[in-house]
């Protein structure tokens, strides 16, 4: 069965410093992977997706993620955090049939000034 593990439930950074949100996945097939962001009391927005094309994926708002098959990882990074990046981030994998998204438990990103 497919699964994702977000290695940190909470990450705190200072504004202007790099962001690293870690995600490992488990899948018996070549997966599609996503990062979604949820701002407080809002719905979910797609940040970026990997679908077996380039392993380095660029998303919105300066975020990017690198698919590493050997490490079964899909970590999300941003060179310089902004206050508006404070939110909950979900690493997500699709099931093999493509009928469902399987969510990690989320990482809360806090950004201090």
* Contact positions vs other proteins (CB under 8 A): 9, 31-32, 42-46, 49, 51, 90, 94, 98-106
DSSP states along the chain: --EEEES-SEEEEETTS-EEE-EEEE-SS---EEEEEE-TT--EEEEEEE-SS-SEEE-GGG-EEEEETTTTEEEEEESS--GGG-EEEEEEEE-TTSS-EEE---EEEEEE-
d(C-alpha 27, C-alpha 15), whole Å: 35
Nearer Cβ to other proteins (7/103): 103
Minimum distance, C-beta of residue 20 to other proteins, in the bound complex (Å): 19
Nearer to other proteins, 14 or 51 (CB): 51
If the CB atoms of residues 31 and 75 are measured against other proteins, the closer one turns out to be: 31
Q: Which is nearer to other proteins, 43 or 56 (CB)?
A: 43
């Amino acid at each position: 069965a497919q699964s994702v593990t977000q290695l940190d439930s909470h990450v705190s950074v200072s504004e202007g410093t790099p962001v690293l949100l870690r995600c490992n996945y488990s899948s018996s097939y070549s997966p599609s992977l996503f990062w979604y962001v949820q701002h407080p009391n809002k719905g979910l927005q797609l940040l970026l997706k990997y679908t077996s094309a380039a392993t380095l994926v660029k998303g919105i708002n300066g975020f990017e993620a690198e698919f590493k098959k050997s490490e079964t990882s899909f970590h999300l990074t941003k060179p310089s955090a902004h206050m508006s990046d404070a939110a909950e981030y979900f690493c997500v994998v699709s099931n093999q049939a493509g009928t469902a998204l399987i969510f990690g438990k989320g990482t809360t990103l806090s950004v201090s000034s």
